[in-house]
Chain A
Amino acid sequence: MSYMTKWRALDHCDDHTRDEEATVEQEADQSTSNQQVSDEWIIIKDSENVDVTTTDRQAAVSLQLGIEAAITAVIRIAIADGAQSEGVTQDFRQVINTRQSNRQKTIVEQSKDIEITTTDTDVAVNIQLLFQILAAIVVALDVF
């Protein structure tokens, strides 16, 4: 008879005295750029009053792509010789592509008044590293 005693977050929705609608949110973001696979899952089941704070992945991915494109652009413009610039771009791509995949899952079940904050350190470090490389290239080639 365990179901009799089990607390359920949505029970109060059955009595219609409260003017509320239960919302079920499901979000599964997956982003892939080159070698990077990064996905985060937050599953919330049978719970109420849960605050979730997470990294804006869309912004992170476009920022990564932007810096990668900038690195390629700087190399292309600075190194006129096609074969040479291709070689340099390839070499940098190899460095940039050494990335780990980040999978984190957070499951909240049968809980009340929870705050969740997740930080995707991988993506933050990647962005920082990419920009570091871009800045170093600009300095090394004495672009400005």
Chain B
Amino acid sequence: MAENQSKNDPIPGKVVKVMVDEILRKNNVKPEQVKNNISNEQRQMLKEMVEDLKTQVDQFNQGEKDTTKTDK
């Protein structure tokens, strides 16, 4: 997912990946263990949430603008 959207990313995906991995490592979080903590229902919910936000971010980037005009 992170790889798909490299065009608009302000910082390279690899940098974000390193940072995220480092934060998880520092806090002793093991992704293998984490998998078991999430139920299928939660997985689905989180997926929908992220996709929803992705749509909103894209919409925002396409420039939903406010236009105000004074009288002529």
Tally A residues with Cβ within 8 Å of B: 54
* Chain A min CB distance to B52 (Å): 9
Known: A73-B46, A141-B24. A48 touches B70 (CB 8 A): yes
Task: Tally inter-chain residue pairs, CB-CB below 8 A.
Answer: 146
* Chain B min CB distance to A72 (Å): 12
Are B54 and A131 closer than 8 Å at their CB atoms?
yes
Are B23 and A79 closer than 8 Å at their CB atoms?
no
* Chain B min CB distance to A87 (Å): 4
How many angstroms between the C-alpha atoms of A102 and B38 in the bound complex? 39
Known: A48-B71, A139-B2. A133 touches B46 (CB 8 A): no
Mask, B9-44, CB within 8 Å of A = 1, is 111010011011101101111010011011000110
- Pick from B2, B27, B60: contact of A59, CB below 8 A: B60
Are B10 and A125 closer than 8 Å at their CB atoms?
yes
Known: A52-B67, A129-B10, A135-B5. A77 touches B42 (CB 8 A): yes
Are A63 and B56 closer than 8 Å at their CB atoms?
yes
When distances are taken between beta carbons in the complex, the residues of chain B under 8 Å from A73 are: 46, 49
When distances are taken between beta carbons in the complex, the residues of chain B under 8 Å from A144 are: 43, 46-47
Are A56 and B65 closer than 8 Å at their CB atoms?
yes
Q: What are 22 A-B interface contacts by the 8 Å CB criterion?
A: A49-B72, A51-B68, A51-B69, A52-B67, A53-B66, A55-B65, A56-B64, A67-B57, A88-B23, A88-B29, A128-B9, A128-B10, A129-B11, A132-B9, A133-B20, A134-B53, A135-B5, A136-B16, A140-B24, A140-B31, A142-B34, A142-B35
| Residues in B lying within 8 Å of A, measured CB to CB | 1-2, 5, 8-11, 13, 16-17, 19-21, 23-24, 26-29, 31, 34-35, 37-38, 42-43, 46-47, 49-50, 53-54, 56-57, 60-61, 64-72
